[in-house]
Structure 1
């Protein structure tokens, strides 16, 4: 495994991309509004993330896997994301994504944006439709922080040379573990605890902060 100069770990929903993927999937079941309200509460830190995710995923029961194609068509990369990832690579860094969202979407989106490594939750599927449960261990706030530490060790990067970028309460542990925690497009509680707040919704603003 080559040693990298530094590591940048992104949250996915509302950070790497403009969307909240679980809301797009819920739209396929006609339950987008209810799931959007629950997602907002979770991102503000008002409810436990894992508990909230399980209840929201229950609302996805019965959505056909074929609906993922429509979800992918609606994904909007955040302005500046391609420029930032290109700059990370030009300077010898690794671009990583850890998400409370889903591999079923991120496995297409991440490589399309030239992300090096990523981790997310998986949705259980039975007979071509979602069963309404998360398959395996949930990637929560602790899981995000663990992923950052694991990737830093894997690529030989000291934690002091890691950057974490997120918007929600479940990103705070990851941001705290990193050498630099950036609040991007973030909820008030996250902006209050971050090392720096990126104001414009343009990830190219982060390029100036790279090592």
Structure 2
């Protein structure tokens, strides 16, 4: 950026003058380039994305963070993928206490954007692990509810699903209750449903990009194996873990076989994969939408709620509240590599 651009009055200065992937200080409405980059192991990174940003929105975010005792010391504009609009990252070097994600969400609505905070962010450019929920995360539906439609017990099953996902009912208990109502469903109908699974927008491209950077991808789902295996085929996952439905004479018996993949089991799967791959915790990411994903998300270096219920958003480290899952890249590709730290 030229000195002329840097000295423009605030009303004239545009963020397009910010060089992508470079860090700047910001004082008296002037951006000044920094020679070094933030230390990813210290402070907090606030990421504003999915918005139309200008100097006014920069000032609003800085003021909001300051009221939360987070003083911004560096700003970067970056674009992890051409399928995403540029985002802004605000670094607060001495900040330690993250802001409640629901508070971030409420503030971001005033700017018509999304705002998340991460500490010690994972790096897209090093091998990593992503463990994802399946229903309403990797795909847009709850498979058990769709099976229930076939048995004409949708309302009964969906109401129990909603209670379980909101954390108001033990997951294993709820699963057994719901599956019992599916007794007699033909296996052929399960196969038909499996063949038409709707992927969550952005998940396929996200997985392609992660695989290009040597990430290991897995599903840990409270759903069912046939659907998880189909998703594995569609987005090239390394492995899947889900519940096994019992069939007899090509019909559902209403029972689940083996260990139920509940909240604790999901966390066990994540930790087991981390150790198997020899990864640091900071290079592990878990995403999900329901209360039964929270334990897994807490065990990961970064836990992200995806279109989650308020309880899940509040307890996650970060949340993608709307839009494509490709937006996860904003949290993995902050420009922090290959340069000395501030």
**Shorter-chain TM-score category?**
over 0.9
Q: Secondary structure at the match of 1:197?
A: strand
Match of 1:57? Answer: 179
Partner residue, 1:22: 144
Tell which deviates more after alignment, 177-186 or 198-207.
198-207
**Residue from 326, 329, 335 that aligns with 1:204:** 326
How much has 1:70 moved relative to structure 2?
A: 2.2
2:241 and 2:264 map into 1 onto residues whose CA distance is 13
* Aligned match of 1:164: 286
> Aligned-pair distance for 1:199?
2.2
Deviations 1:85-104 (A, max 9, x none): 01111111111110000002
**Aligned-partner Cα distance in 2 for 1:201–1:36:** 24
Task: Give the match's secondary structure for 1:125.
Answer: strand
Tell me the equivalent position of 2:26.
none
Select the residue among 175, 181, 192 that pairs with 2:297: 175
SS at match of 2:217: strand
CA RMSD of aligned residues (A): 1.2
Identify which of structures 1 and 2 has the higher relative contact order when contacts are C-alpha pairs closer than 8 Å and 6+ apart.
Answer: 1
Report what 2:308 is aligned to.
186
- Runs of at least 4 residues of structure 1 off by over 4 A? none
CA distance in 2, matches of 1:158, 1:126: 44
Q: Which moved more, 1:154-163 or 1:119-128?
A: 154-163
Give the length in aligned residue pairs: 208
Larger Rg: 2
Structure 2 length normalisation: TM-score?
Answer: 0.59
Measure the CA separation in 2 of the matches of 1:119 and 1:128: 22
Q: Which residue of 1 aligns with 2:202?
A: 80
Query: Unpaired runs of 5+ in structure 1?
Result: none
Aligned to 2:5: none
1:32-181 to structure 2, matched below 5 A, reads 32-181=154-303
Higher helix share: 1
Q: Measure the CA separation in 2 of the matches of 1:107 and 1:89.
A: 18
1:158-211 deviation digits (Å, cap 9, x = unpaired):
222100001000000000000000011101110000101112231010022226
